[in-house]
Structure 1
Amino acid sequence: MSTLQAHDSGSTSHNSNNNNISSNNNNQNGDSALAQQDAALTQAIRYVREFSIQVKAYQQLKSEESLLHLQRSIALLGTKVPPHCYAAGNLELAKFFVELHALMSGLDDGDGDAMWSCVSLLQHCSRNLEARTAIVQQHCFVPLLSYLLKRTKREERVQRLLLLLQDLTYGIRIGWEEPYLVVLLEQLVELVHSADDDDDEESDDPNLRRAKLSLSILVNVCYKNFVVLFLFLRSVNISSFSRRIQNYGLLAYKMLIILSEDVHSLEQRELHTFLRTAFAGIEDCLRQWDVPQLRHIVDLLLDAQCHAGLQRAMLSYGHYCEDIERLLNQIDARHEMDDATEDVRKHQQCCLQLIFKLIAHVLQLSDTHNAISLDAITPRLYELLCDWLESDLCGVAAIELLSSLLQRGKQSAVAQLIARDANTNVFKLVSSAERSETKPIQVTAILRLLLSLLRDPKTEKLVLSKISESYFDKILAAPLALLPQMLSGQTLVAAEVEKVVYCLLLLLNFASIAKKAYLDKCCAMLDLPQLQYALARAMLSGNEQLVAAMLQIAQFEQFPKAAVAKYVSKICNNTIATPSSNIESDPSEQWRNLSAILKGHHTFIDKELGQRVNALIESIGATLERNELQALPVSQVIELYNHRIDSLGCQLHQMEQRLEQASVQLTKSSQLTHVQSAQLERFQSNNFELLISQERLQTQCKDLKAQAGQLKTNLSDLLKRWSETSDQLQATERRLAVKQSEIGHLQEENEELRSNLSAKSEELSKLEALSKDNCKRIDKLKKTVIAYEQDIKEKVRTIEERTVELAKTHKALEEQREGRKKCEDLVSVLETQLQEKKEQIEHLEMEQKETEDLRKTIMSLMESKKPKRKP
């Protein structure tokens, strides 16, 4: 036993060493990954600079050779530079997109190879989510591609453009009627109408594929873009368009829902079919981690309150549990695949974030409709959430979904799962909130989760045991570091305000449970001006949940009402003095007013047409009364109308040209603004680094001045001591010479010891290798011993069974021996009887023999006494 214990302790130390080695390896892998990313970004910037040189050369020369060099540079950018390098927000890449836009705008031949190389490069860049956002919003490539779509005639290139536009228009935001919208909508509607009516959704007709892509782009540009939808409704016959797209499945349902109930109403049965199709579409997105399309579907479901019919359908839908379970199956199946690249992992986390938001919305619907329940899959949801609680992208959504499960789950199933193991990932996450590198938004989500855990009796004691007073001090360290006289809207961001409010609310909940331990802490925290300012900011934030939390804090007995009110007044005065100009109207209000605006528009047109018709009827009636119908100058009227129509057409053409010029100027201005913003960000970052360096140098200068004064006093003291200790110094020098000779001997001994150390280290490495081999052998022997022990147990059990059988056999043997004795006695009796029978038989045989002899004698005598017959 002692040997085994020694081996266990040795293996434990060996495992700890392995853990240390693995952590070091992880750190090294992280460093190597960062180095690879830096190298890839450096290479990307080199290729971008070469592209800029080739673009300038082509614009100056316009020769075939320069065009070939330009195409080669574009091909290198599309093959050698990974998509994630285009997401870096530096000045070089911003200029690259501006030059690419200018190049594509300057190429006259829409079907040229250079143009389609640029399109392929743009499609390669758009695989990164951040680069895609920059391509659409900052650099305005969608108008350029829209005009290119109108000029393109080859079918395969049209389909390539439609695919790229579909990817780029997911989630696009359009605030005003730009000239390219008319061209784009006209082209897309024409492609939708070009498909045959007889084609079903599953056919492989190229026209049908282009029609589906066109309808998908229409859905993207009309969704949450009120201006585009209004322009679309003015330029399309909605009834014929609705009949045309009715066989296009999910896309048709999306478009008809966007058109609102007043334009096209859907039955509840059709909306339920749309929900089933939407969940199937979400499952398809999870197979490829298609973030934009998944975000489009999820946003449409989350915005169902803007569509009364869809909201009713979602409340009456009864297949949430099985649909979400299929999504979980797809996530598990996809998670087992090799997701090695950084972009794929990022897309995976973005998709999971959207799925978590959708499930949380379904749980929120269960508050108003009790028939919706996810209890059957709650344990599986909990296991999935525990794996993603600490993620950078989907961690906040996972924590919020876990809080929703705690609040809305039946029978406290999640609380039981958390309370079953006190060291779960949930409580590991709780400890991460006090670290300074954790993001404020994630800390806020953790604090809200703790509030939910604190309300449940199964997890209340666990929360109280995991958190101490220092926990709140560490969370509030950042806002408390601000100077009270420097408080303003720029020094405390909104995320920090939310973190402060929920931290104080959690502290008050602790005080309500353990009043003696936390009451003084609450009073001290609420007296701090930094936290009072944060509470005032929360009161004016406009966030409903944050204001509700603030009002809960205000119910505390010793809440500093006067101080908070003072800060609220000060913030309001500053807001009035500097009003914000970026006030946007609520999109939901625009969607609600869509039908009213359309009706007003049609009413206005009807009134105008009625007035014109009435005027014409009055004119004709007056002419008939005067009997001057033949003298009516119809030609003059027609000429006047033609002249008026021509003038209006010229004015319209001029307005379109001016609008196009304004759009081009706006695109250039937006691109220039983006470049300047990149320069400004770079300047601000450099300025911030310089300020930090200046503060650091100032503190170092102060320290150095203090050290210089101290050194002067020390120098004067040392001079006095030097004059006093010169004799001692000479004696010390003599002793130093002796010590130097001793040091020489010690150095020789040190060399010998080093050689011995190297030899011993080699022996140690051999012994470590031997120890590893022995550990492996010991592990094998342990497995063998375990197998032998199991075999021995089986043999012992067999021996016991055989012992019982042997006892039964002994008993049967005794019985057989007794029977044998009886049989032997019987045999002896029978033998004596047999002997007697033998004697009797022998006697009888003798008598028989004698009788036979006598018979023969008699017979012979009788033969002799017979008279002889006469012949």
Structure 2
Amino acid sequence: MEKYAPMKEFVTVFQEYSKTKSEKTLNGPLLKCLQVLSVTSDLTIFDPGSGVSTEFFISLHQLVSSLDAQSGALWCAVSLLQRACQSPAARAELVHTFRFAPVLSRLLGAQLICDKKLSVLNLLQELTYGVRISWQEAHLRDLIPALVQLVDGSEKEVVGLALGVLVNLCYKNLPAVYTLLRCVDIRQFLRVVLKVRSGHRNVQVQVCKLLIVLDSITGEIPDILNFVTVTFSTLYDAFKANNVFLMRHTVDFFKDVQSNKHYHQMLYKYENYVADTERLLGLADQASSDECAEALFEFLDCLVSLRLPGMEALHRPLVASALGRPWSCAGALQLVCSVAAETRRRSLARGSQCPGDLRLCEDVGRQLEGGLDRLLTFFHTSGDQDLLGDAAAQTRLVALVQLLQEMCRSQALRQRIMASVNVQTLRKVFAPLLGADSAAEDCRSPDLVALYVHALDFVSGLAAHDSGWMSCYSDLLGRRSVQAVLATALYSGPLDVRMKVLALTSTVGFSAERLSLLARSLSDLDPLVLIPAGRGKPAAAPREGGGGAGPFDMRPLLSLAQEQRLDGLLAQFKELAEKNQIQDIMTSSVMELYEYKLAAMEHSERVLLSSLEAANEHATQMQHRVAQLAAEISRHHQLLYGSQQCVEGLRAEKAALQERLQQSQDVADKTQCKLIEEFKNRKAVVNELNNTIEDLRKAFALKENELQSAKMAIESLHSKENDMKLQYSSLESSHKDVMLKYADLIKLKGKLEERISKRERIIQDRDSEIAETRKQNDALKTEVANLNMINKMHEKSIHEKESEVQRLSTQLSDLERLRTVIFDLTSGQKKFE
């Protein structure tokens, strides 16, 4: 399904609803579209830059303006806006261009349950963050008192959100501050705010913000040291609670305080930066979301840029922690770049006078060298991503290019980078700009323009050391699309981007021809295209035909009787003043005159308020119209740019075709000359062939005579042929007899072959039996040999035993004789006794 299909369906259904105002349409297909969009997983559909999203938000604004607080579609639209606010680019457009805050502020005046009130305040906090109010707007008169009442209430969850919305409205917006001063006693209000300061951490942050906002009004300098303490503790708790909103707001406000000249100096009085930073740094590896890690590293980058004493001891762990993060976090890359730049600055500024700075610079350089392979791998994979429409990928790649630029200041790292990064990899980054279909895409968003400028600056740095990169740099600068991006950066880019563009014009590759091309691109740009929708100041013209009063409303302030009464009082006062009898004027008459004056002022105030509301509504409509026209102009500009590219391509193709045509014409002329010469040669050959034909005709006549004689010979041969046919028939009959005998012989042969095959099978069986018998015979022979050997051994053993028996028999006979002798001797002695 198409990416913007749900938005297109919503716009179509809303147009039908706006014509009929049917509750069935509202609670049916329109509500279904809102529910589908409020749970979408693709937040890029809410990003500005496409005409579909512009029409969608304008239709949504009209829908929200027409619904009451009891409508379910309204709260579904609130959920949808909360979902859209998760996209930073969409949130900026919702704040500055489509202005949903005035429409939603009226909901605070209704009787809402706590959950709905929290939903509205959460959304208003998002839609008022960073808002710029340059004149008194009608919704402030009701919104700010409602917020003050909520701050003074007893609901703790509501107090922090209401205070946050109030601070967003008053920060750098004097009309909102003046409205706040008119509706409350500021001293008493600050006392109320300070009472709730000990509550939730978010309340403490908002109180610090409000004190800094009102310091020029109240004359009291806020406690900056307490603000810094609250900032560290808030970031610690918000990080552990995974509260991205609180972290983002705290970091952004700390950056604003840091940019203030007066508060900037007071920030250096805080003494626990190192300990608190170490405490925060211990949480960096525990980040459960990239957004929390992004805010944390952004805050650490602010601390590095402050150049606080003692912070150099944390540079190594800061780099190690940032390099250990996944490269989906652009803040980590920016932090590494800031630390590398700071250590290099310190080593160059103090040099050999401080060996510690040199060692620190070397250590950071070794850390960067160890993480260079991961950085280069990430750079190669980033070039393959679809950068169009992906603001996060653009921001990450900008941070990576800036880090690689900083690393190139080291000769050893620069050699490795130049060996690993090739021209083709970098061209992938410029592919959306250089592609043939670039006219169909928006390649001039601020993030993408910044990316291209930083990438060109990176290429210019490499071009100073390698001729291949110089040719790539020169080729890129020669592209008209690249020059158009540089022109856009000079018109509407931030300060650092403009400085880089101006620095690029002084490089070697930026020749006079390139400067002329840049000037032509600047003159071709339409300034209206470059004015962001919602950033201008539309005129507060009154609405025609209804509702509000214009600045020249001719309705009388007083009735005729009141005017006559007022004229009589004024004449009486004038007469008494001429008679010097002012003291005789009755107090009731003065009070009556004062009441007339109050009535006239109240009427004038009502007229002015209605005129202001009409002007606000008209300004919002004009902003919506400007957004539509900006999207349409941007689309036409891209189409025109694409058409120009096509025309240039066609011109180049035409020139190439003309050159090919001229070459073909030259080849054709040469071929024609060859063909004319060949025709002459062939004509001579034809003449020779004609002469040959005449000779052949004469030879043919001779051959014809020979043919007649040959025919007569053929007739004689035919008679011989008949005789041969008779002989052939007799031979054919004898052949049949031979074939019959041959068939009998084949059958006999088959039988003999069958008998032979049987004999062969019998012979094979006999051969196998003989082989088996031979194997058995060999086995028996082996066994007989073994038995003979055993027999010989046994015979030898028997001989040995027989000799031993013989020996023992001899011994036995000897012993027997000895025994006999002994017996005889003993028997003889007995006889003698």
Normalising by structure 1, report the TM-score: 0.55
Q: Deviations over 1:209-235 (max 9, x none)?
A: 222221111111122333323432343
Residue from 666, 673, 676 that aligns with 2:629: 676
Query: Which letter maps to 1:193?
Result: D
Cα distance in 2, alignment partners of residues 561 and 258 from structure 1: 46
Please identify the structure whose Cα radius of gyration is greater.
2
CA contact (8 A) 2:136 2:176 kept: yes
Query: Which letter maps to 2:317?
Result: P
Q: 1:412 and 2:365 equivalent? A: no
Cα distance in 2, alignment partners of residues 552 and 121 from structure 1: 44
Structure 2 stretches lacking a partner, 5+ long: 198-203, 347-356, 388-392, 435-443, 533-575, 683-833
Residue from 463, 481, 486 that aligns with 2:414: 463
Normalising by structure 2, report the TM-score: 0.58
Q: Deviations over 1:801-860 (max 9, x none)?
A: xxxxxxxxxxxxxxxxxxxxxxxxxxxxxxxxxxxxxxxxxxxxxxxxxxxxxxxxxxxx
Query: Which letter maps to 2:296?
Result: I
Q: 1:184 and 2:154 equivalent? A: no
Query: Which letter maps to 1:243?
Result: R
Residue from 214, 218, 222 that aligns with 1:259: 214
CA contact (8 A) 1:48 1:77 kept: no
Residue 722 of structure 2 corresponds to none
Counterparts of 1:610-649 in structure 2, within 5 Å, are: 631-649=584-602
CA contact (8 A) 2:284 2:296 kept: no
CA contact (8 A) 1:385 1:402 kept: no
Residue 370 of structure 1 corresponds to 309
Relative to structure 1, the CA distance from residue 645 to residue 110 in structure 2 (aligned partners, 3 Å threshold; closer, same or farther) is same
Residue from 82, 86, 89 that aligns with 1:127: 86
**1:257 Cα deviation after fit:** 1.8
Percent identity at matched positions? Answer: 21
CA contact (8 A) 1:278 1:297 kept: yes
Counterparts of 1:286-365 in structure 2, within 5 Å, are: 286=239, 292-305=245-258, 310-335=263-288, 348=290, 351-365=292-306
Residue 274 of structure 1 corresponds to 227
Report the secondary structure of 1:424's partner residue. helix
Residue 774 of structure 2 corresponds to none
CA contact (8 A) 1:169 1:220 kept: yes
Counterparts of 1:404-803 in structure 2, within 5 Å, are: 404=341, 406-407=343-344, 410=357, 411-412=360-361, 414-418=363-367, 421=370, 424-426=373-375, 449=403, 452-453=406-407, 459-464=410-415, 466-467=417-418, 543=495, 631-704=584-657, 713=667
Residue from 93, 103, 119 that aligns with 2:53: 93
Q: 1:227 and 2:167 equivalent? A: no
Q: Deviations over 1:198-251 (max 9, x none)?
A: xxxxxxxxx232222211111111223333234323433221111101133222
Relative to structure 1, the CA distance from residue 329 to residue 179 in structure 2 (aligned partners, 3 Å threshold; closer, same or farther) is same
Cα distance in 1, alignment partners of residues 411 and 372 from structure 2: 15
Query: Which letter maps to 2:27?
Result: L
Residue 172 of structure 1 corresponds to 131
CA contact (8 A) 1:266 1:309 kept: no
Cα distance in 2, alignment partners of residues 429 and 124 from structure 1: 30
Report the secondary structure of 1:240's partner residue. helix
Q: 1:41 and 2:8 equivalent? A: no
Bigger Cα displacement from structure 2, 531-540 vs 651-660? 531-540
**1:704 Cα deviation after fit:** 4.8
Relative to structure 1, the CA distance from residue 434 to residue 79 in structure 2 (aligned partners, 3 Å threshold; closer, same or farther) is closer
Residue from 157, 168, 177 that aligns with 1:209: 157
Relative to structure 1, the CA distance from residue 175 to residue 466 in structure 2 (aligned partners, 3 Å threshold; closer, same or farther) is same
Q: 1:103 and 2:42 equivalent? A: no
CA contact (8 A) 2:457 2:504 kept: no
Cα distance in 2, alignment partners of residues 534 and 133 from structure 1: 22
CA contact (8 A) 2:124 2:165 kept: yes
Cα distance in 1, alignment partners of residues 504 and 89 from structure 2: 39
Query: Which letter maps to 1:632?
Result: I
Residue 400 of structure 1 corresponds to 337
CA contact (8 A) 1:250 1:277 kept: yes
Relative to structure 1, the CA distance from residue 291 to residue 229 in structure 2 (aligned partners, 3 Å threshold; closer, same or farther) is farther
Q: Deviations over 1:482-513 (max 9, x none)?
A: xxxxxxx99x97776666667656777x6xxx
Residue 754 of structure 1 corresponds to none
Cα distance in 1, alignment partners of residues 653 and 518 from structure 2: 41
Residue 755 of structure 2 corresponds to none
Query: Which letter maps to 1:276?
Result: T
Query: Which letter maps to 2:65?
Result: S
Residue 601 of structure 1 corresponds to none
Cα distance in 2, alignment partners of residues 568 and 78 from structure 1: 44
CA contact (8 A) 1:433 1:475 kept: no
Q: Deviations over 1:416-457 (max 9, x none)?
A: 4337648533565788999999999988866765665466xx
Query: Which letter maps to 1:631?
Result: D
Cα distance in 2, alignment partners of residues 75 and 420 from structure 1: 51
Relative to structure 1, the CA distance from residue 236 to residue 374 in structure 2 (aligned partners, 3 Å threshold; closer, same or farther) is farther
Q: 1:114 and 2:73 equivalent? A: yes
Residue 385 of structure 1 corresponds to 323
RMSD over equivalenced CA pairs, Å = 5.7
Cα distance in 2, alignment partners of residues 675 and 229 from structure 1: 32
Residue 694 of structure 2 corresponds to none
Relative to structure 1, the CA distance from residue 535 to residue 238 in structure 2 (aligned partners, 3 Å threshold; closer, same or farther) is same
Relative to structure 1, the CA distance from residue 433 to residue 468 in structure 2 (aligned partners, 3 Å threshold; closer, same or farther) is farther
Cα distance in 2, alignment partners of residues 95 and 717 from structure 1: 64
Query: Which letter maps to 1:385?
Result: L
Q: 1:147 and 2:124 equivalent? A: no
Residue 748 of structure 2 corresponds to none
Residue from 167, 182, 187 that aligns with 1:239: 187
Relative to structure 1, the CA distance from residue 193 to residue 153 in structure 2 (aligned partners, 3 Å threshold; closer, same or farther) is same
CA contact (8 A) 1:538 1:550 kept: no
Residue 73 of structure 1 corresponds to 32
Query: Which letter maps to 1:361?
Result: C
Query: Which letter maps to 2:218?
Result: V
Cα distance in 2, alignment partners of residues 547 and 294 from structure 1: 31
Cα distance in 1, alignment partners of residues 505 and 284 from structure 2: 40
**1:651 Cα deviation after fit:** 0.8
Structure 1 stretches lacking a partner, 5+ long: 1-38, 196-206, 340-347, 482-488, 511-516, 584-622, 726-871
Residue 802 of structure 1 corresponds to none
Relative to structure 1, the CA distance from residue 172 to residue 549 in structure 2 (aligned partners, 3 Å threshold; closer, same or farther) is closer
Cα distance in 1, alignment partners of residues 407 and 417 from structure 2: 12
**1:80 Cα deviation after fit:** 5.3
Report the secondary structure of 2:139's partner residue. helix
Relative to structure 1, the CA distance from residue 647 to residue 384 in structure 2 (aligned partners, 3 Å threshold; closer, same or farther) is same
CA contact (8 A) 2:319 2:335 kept: no
Bigger Cα displacement from structure 2, 240-249 vs 683-692? 683-692
CA contact (8 A) 1:501 1:538 kept: no
